[in-house]
Amino acid sequence: MIDGRPPRDSPIQPSFEATRRAWTPGAAAITLKPRATRLRVSVLVMLLLVTVVVPAATDDCPELVGRWPYGPAYAVAQEGIFAYFGSGTTLLIADVSDPASSEVVGNVALPGVIRGVAVSGSHVYVAAWDAGLRVIDVSTPASPIETSFVDTPGYAYGVAVSGSHAYVADHSRGLRVIDVSAPASPIGVGHSDTPGEAYGVAVSGSYAYVAGDDGGLRVVDVSTPSSPFEVGLIDTPGEAWGEGWGVAASGSYAFVADEVGLRVIDISNPAEPTEVGLAHTAQYAVGVAVSCCYAFVAIEYGGLRVIDLIDPRSPVEVGSTGAPGHTRSATVAGAYVYVADGEAGMEIFDATSCALPAPRHVTGGRLP
């Protein structure tokens, strides 16, 4: 039995453990009152020098406000007032309209361990390891139903959905493209082999970005889903892991989690991706979520790191958490970050405390 996980015959608990203290020993009690802290940016143009106001590191950035304490949880997604996350082979649906008092409202057992989760409309798409891609109807959150699946040839590790297609990082079998225009009858329509093992995938526009272990970051043109083809690559020095959201794309940048930290890749020219920034972390970075000016990086045995991206070429860590588990992935929605923390379950953090401005100087900075 994995530490922190209930026995197989134990009923799934119906409510979150409302948590008032951060995992860091001796942390002060958390105030759950929402705060409307805004990031202020002032620009002074003088001899091409740009002054940018960015957050300074704070002890309570971010703040733990809720926790589901049963794992293993490897993947989490959020949409509307619901969070969707794995607990072993079970997909759980939690009402997070009040993140500090969330509760699980529905669950469905699947045949494989849940490694990746993506939401589109009334369906959740689950990368279920050796059980391929599973499609879950969540139109009634209290009674989710598995409607279909595609047994991919590899091990489904990560999944992203864009339009009428799902994109699966299928470990040793590369990127698989699946038509989900009819969720009850998904069908594989294309694939692209990637050197290394495909762990994570993000899709932006006509391109899929695949974190390929020691194969680095691969850029795949998916404008014709039935005929995807690689157009660019960058061989990151460390292994580019991707448990769930090991790669994220925003604007002109891709953000890759690998063994030395968070790498910032300029993808303005997809055929020639170029590394332009690096935020070192003490341990393996295995997952990343990006929202506006911040990256939230899952560290394998080190919790969550918050990275300021006001200047993507000079990313700066501004906050971190401890973690009792084996942190695997994260997603962000509004002011809250949802973290899949392995055997310790799923945790919810309030990130508003991270937006405490302090000035520093950069040259040529621009927002992603």
* Rounded Cα distance, 23 and 116, in Å: 25
Per-residue burial over 89-102, b if 16 or more Cβ lie within 10 Å, else e, is bebbbbbbeebbeb
Lookup: tokens for 98: 């009040």
Strand ranges, E, within 193-244? 200-204, 207-211, 217-221, 229-234
Quick one: CA torsion of 168, 207, 211, 189, rounded to 10 degrees? 30
Taking alpha carbons only, the member of 266, 221, 269, 263 closest to residue 242 is: 263
CA dist., res. 194 & res. 213, Å (int): 10
| Residue type at position 99 | P
Considering the four listed CATH numbers 2.60.40.10, 2.130.10.10, 3.40.50.1860, 3.90.1150.10, the one that applies to the domain covering 17-362 is 2.130.10.10
Tell me the pTM. 0.83
* Domain ranges across the chain: 17-362
Q: Do 330 and 298 form a contact (C-beta atoms < 8 A)? A: yes
Backbone phi, then psi, for 78, in 5-degree steps? Answer: -140, 140
Q: Within 10 A of 229 (CB to CB), how many other CB atoms are there?
A: 11
Q: CB 204: neighbour CB atoms within 10 A?
A: 18
Query: Which residues face 150 on adjacent strands?
Result: 133
Contact 302, 282 (CB under 8 A): yes
Find out whether the peptide bond into 270 is cis, omega within 30 degrees of 0: no
Closest by alpha carbon to 170, among 159, 183, 182, 185? 159
Q: What is the pLDDT of residue 173?
A: 96
Q: What is the pLDDT along the chain (368 residues), one digit of tens a residue?
A: 333 333 333 334 434 444 333 323 323 222 223 333 333 333 322 223 233 344 445 568 999 999 999 999 999 999 999 999 999 999 999 999 999 999 999 999 999 999 999 999 999 999 999 999 999 999 999 999 999 999 999 999 999 999 999 999 999 999 999 999 999 999 999 999 998 899 999 999 999 999 987 778 999 999 999 999 999 999 887 665 543 348 999 999 999 998 889 999 999 999 999 999 999 987 889 999 999 899 999 999 899 999 999 999 999 999 999 878 889 999 999 999 999 999 999 999 999 988 644 433 333 322 33
Are the CB atoms for 73 and 85 separated by under 8 Å? yes
SS (H, E, C) 17-74: EECCECCCCCCCECCCCCCCCCCCCCCCCECCEEEEEEECCCCCCCEEEEEECCCCEC
Maximum CA pair distance of the chain? Answer: 68
Amino acid letter, 174: G
Identify whether the C-beta of residue 89 lies closer than 8 Å to the C-beta of residue 107: no
Q: Measured between alpha carbons, how far is 166 from 125 in angstroms, rounded to an integer? A: 8
